[in-house]
Amino acid sequence: MPFDVAITLQRGKLRLDYAFQTEKGGLTALFGPSGAGKTSLLDAIAGLARPSEGRILVEDRVLFDKARRIDLRPEQRRCGYVFQDLRLFPHKSVRDNLLYGWRLAPAERRWMDFDAALGFLGIGHLLDRRPATLSGGEAQRVAIGRALLSGPRFLLMDEPLASVDAERREEILTVIERIRDELALPILYVSHDRAEVDRLASRVIAI
């Protein structure tokens, strides 16, 4: 099974408990209102937040196990993370943002080359531009490209349509469907949009 999660996160006095397993393949949506703790869960899986107890397995690989004192560093988890606020480097060109992802992965772990990513996402014409000059849809495709070029075993996507205008939503939805169907990466996808979830998700977990 791609994801096997049973953890507790502490946020001040707030205790957040998560427990779910997913079957192989497809996209799993974490669905719920803003502030429910969906992003906190993605951060824990990525290694950016440390649970107070529990364990995280992805495709039977242990990423975190409090009882066994296992806590892999973020770079060891081989996670492609597409953040809600994109987090592109504003002072770098699109080319250099993409190459940042590429350089994160040792050569033996890279399964998509640079030109293939450009073709898959249709961003070859953007290489010399800076993030501030991109539309929301263009910037999102660059962020997805950076994640794919890091050689991930799985993807975490946090509200990837939040910064995309209505005109570009279909474009990004199609890209996500292609990642789901053609690349067959396990995906955890955060959203509070029911129509988005109904279109993309193989399964839905209420948070």
As beta bridge partners, residue 190 has 30, 158
Q: What is the pLDDT of residue 1?
A: 64
Architecture of domain 3-206: 3-Layer(aba) Sandwich (3.40)
Residue 52 scores a pLDDT above 80? yes
Output 56 or 116, whichever has higher pLDDT. 56
Nearest alpha carbon to residue 155 among 82, 97, 104, 98 = 82
Q: Given a cut of 90, is residue 193 above it in pLDDT?
A: no
Predicted TM-score of the model (pTM): 0.90
Domain borders along the chain are: 3-206
Residue corresponding to tokens 């039977």: 60
